[in-house]
Amino acid sequence: MRAAMGDDRETKRRGRVFDPDPSLFPSTWMPLRWLQIFAIAKAFATDPFQYRWCSPDSTEVIIPKLMRQYLVQLALGDEWHRVFLGEKRVGLGIVVIFCYFIALIWMVCTTFTIQAGAAFLLIPSILAAMISALVNVIVFLNR
């Protein structure tokens, strides 16, 4: 009986248990996913002679590089969702969201070398990643 009361006191002292609505993050990230797809498609559709900072001869290098970067940041974003919301491993979630943020910035920089308009379409994803990282850190510190 006392052990149960002690657990109850410990829960009250530490605060609420981390249990977010599982539909919260997917509903906010889906429009951003579509925006990312549109931005990458816009970069792919750019004529190589109109590339912003890279040579038209680098088409064989820059397009596969951008596609790899897109797939890496996509995988890291999905992994963060699984780790943070699925497994509720908040500490590991901070590491994964940081890697995701770096991959996203890397992809935006590469996109900017091809077409600035496509890169600017990725700015909301960067802001959402920053907010998600902040939420992850706050939950970690409040545990």
pTM: 0.77
Q: What is each CA distance from 12 to 67, 90, 138, in whole angstroms?
A: 48, 20, 18
Residue 99 has pLDDT above 90, yes or no: yes
Residue, of 11 and 112, whose pLDDT is higher: 112
pLDDT for position 1? 47
Beta-carbon contacts of residue 109 (< 8 Å; ≥ 6 apart) = 119
pLDDT for position 123? 94
**Average pLDDT, rounded, for the chain:** 81
Q: Rounded to the nearest 10 degrees, how much is the dihedral formed by the CA atoms of 41, 46, 52, 56?
A: 120
pLDDT for position 18? 62
CB 32 within 8 A of CB 73: no
The string of pLDDT tens digits covering residues 49-66 is 666 666 656 666 777 888
The string of pLDDT tens digits covering residues 116-125 is 899 999 999 9
pLDDT for position 29? 78
Interatomic CA distance for residues 67 and 49, integer angstroms: 19
Residue 20 has pLDDT above 60, yes or no: yes
Residue 5 has pLDDT above 70, yes or no: no
Torsion sign across C-alpha atoms 115, 121, 127, 132: negative
Task: Give the pLDDT mean for 66-79.
Answer: 92
Residue, of 5 and 84, whose pLDDT is higher: 84
